[in-house]
């Protein structure tokens, strides 16, 4: 089986002014030296994307955004296009984050438009999926993951799957300090990989990177990353602390 290159992504959410972003980006770069065998990506707010890209040029650290529109330009008040992202140095977009789904009521259909559109402009698309606590407790976790995965990837061709990353983020573990146990995370990741093999093909599923997200910290990253189907992490809170993030990137 092909080795998957791991990816540690930091989602800064709605944090950092320009000065704070530059400072944090430079500190992260300083703490991520010497981990060339892993991909590192930072997703700051749109307003500081250009500044963060500039601070990180020549470091090998990738920059992306936390959402993206499917159109290049036009009457889409409040949205940012893939072309704008690329012009500001971004190469990737997170879509379908549970905060987008829950607070801004984004549906699988809308998220799918973002996925397909972002791919058509050559962005790496990080599609987030995950169940709520109520859904886990009522035993529908896998049904929810399947619906979000099939919905989010509708119309995505096998040839474009190399630009897709899936992030499994149980909603009950995001920003709560609760982490899925390594067994719970591995079980969900294995399910996702099996489903992708069914939707596409086995080789492609074997190459797909599946990140875990939800209260990833220096204290739990090692055991999560030791799971066979966990290929990286999507980090929220701890990504705002350059030291903690550096330790996560350097997981053992
Ligand atoms: P957290 O956020 O690490 O703060 O739980 C993860 C995420 O929302 O991607």
Is 199 within a domain? yes
Closest residue by Cα to residue 37 from 237, 232, 176, 197: 232
Is 203 within a domain? yes
Q: What is residue 175's predicted lDDT score, i.e. its pLDDT?
A: 86
Is 243 within a domain? yes
Q: Which residue has the higher pLDDT, 36 or 239?
A: 239
- Residue 121 CB partners (closer than 8 Å, separation 6+): 72, 81, 82, 83, 86
Task: Judge whether 169 counts as a catalytic residue.
Answer: yes
Q: What is residue 2's predicted lDDT score, i.e. its pLDDT?
A: 58
Contact 60, 36 (CB under 8 A): yes
Given 99, 106, 169, 189, the catalytic residue: 169
Within 6 Å (CB) of ligand 1, which residues are found? 11, 169, 174-175, 213-216, 234-238
Given 97, 99, 106, 189, the catalytic residue: 97
Q: Which atom, in ligand 1's list, is nearest to the CA of 13?
A: 8
- In tens, the pLDDT along 130-160 reads 999 999 999 999 999 999 999 999 999 999 9
Is 137 within a domain? yes
Q: In this structure, what are the phi and psi dihedrals at residue 157, rounded to the nearest 5 degrees? A: -80, 155
Is 1 within a domain? no
Q: What is the number of structural domains in the chain?
A: 1
CA distances to 69, 117, 251 from 73, rounded to whole Å, are 9, 12, 40
CA of 238 to the centre of ligand 1 (A): 8
| CATH code where residue 59 lies | 3.20.20.70
pTM exceeds cut of 0.95: yes
Is 3 within a domain? no
- Using CA positions, which residue lies closest to atom 2 of ligand 1? 236
Q: Which atom, in ligand 1's list, is nearest to the CA of 217?
A: 3
- Residue 82 CB partners (closer than 8 Å, separation 6+): 68, 69, 70, 72, 93, 117, 118, 120, 121, 122, 123
Query: Tokens for 192?
Result: 């996702």
Domain housing 84: 8-249
């Amino acid at each position: 089986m092909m080795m998957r290159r791991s990816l540690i992504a930091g989602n800064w959410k709605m944090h950092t002014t320009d000065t704070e972003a530059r400072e944090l980006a430079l500190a992260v770069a300083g703490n991520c030296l010497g981990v060339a065998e892993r991909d590192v990506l930072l997703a700051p707010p749109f307003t500081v994307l250009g500044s963060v890209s500039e601070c990180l040029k020549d470091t090998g650290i990738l920059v992306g955004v936390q959402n993206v529109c499917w159109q290049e330009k036009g009457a889409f008040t409040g949205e940012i296009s893939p072309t704008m992202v690329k012009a500001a140095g971004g190469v990737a977009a997170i879509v379908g984050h549970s905060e987008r789904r829950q607070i801004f009521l984004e549906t699988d259909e809308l998220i799918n438009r973002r996925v397909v559109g972002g791919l058509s402009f050559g962005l790496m698309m990080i599609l987030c999926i995950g169940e709520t606590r109520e859904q886990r407790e009522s035993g529908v976790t896998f049904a929810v993951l399947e619906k979000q995965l099939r919905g989010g990837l509708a119309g995505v061709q096998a040839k474009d799957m190399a630009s897709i990353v899936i992030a499994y983020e149980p909603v009950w573990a995001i920003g709560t300090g609760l982490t899925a146990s390594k067994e719970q995370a591995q079980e969900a990741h294995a399910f996702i990989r099996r489903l992708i093999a069914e939707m596409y093909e086995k080789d492609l599923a074997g190459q797909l990177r599946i990140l875990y997200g939800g209260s990833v910290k220096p204290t739990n990253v090692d055991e999560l990353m030791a799971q066979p189907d966990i290929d990286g992490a999507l980090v929220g809170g701890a990504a705002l602390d350059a030291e903690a993030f550096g330790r996560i990137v350097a997981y053992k």
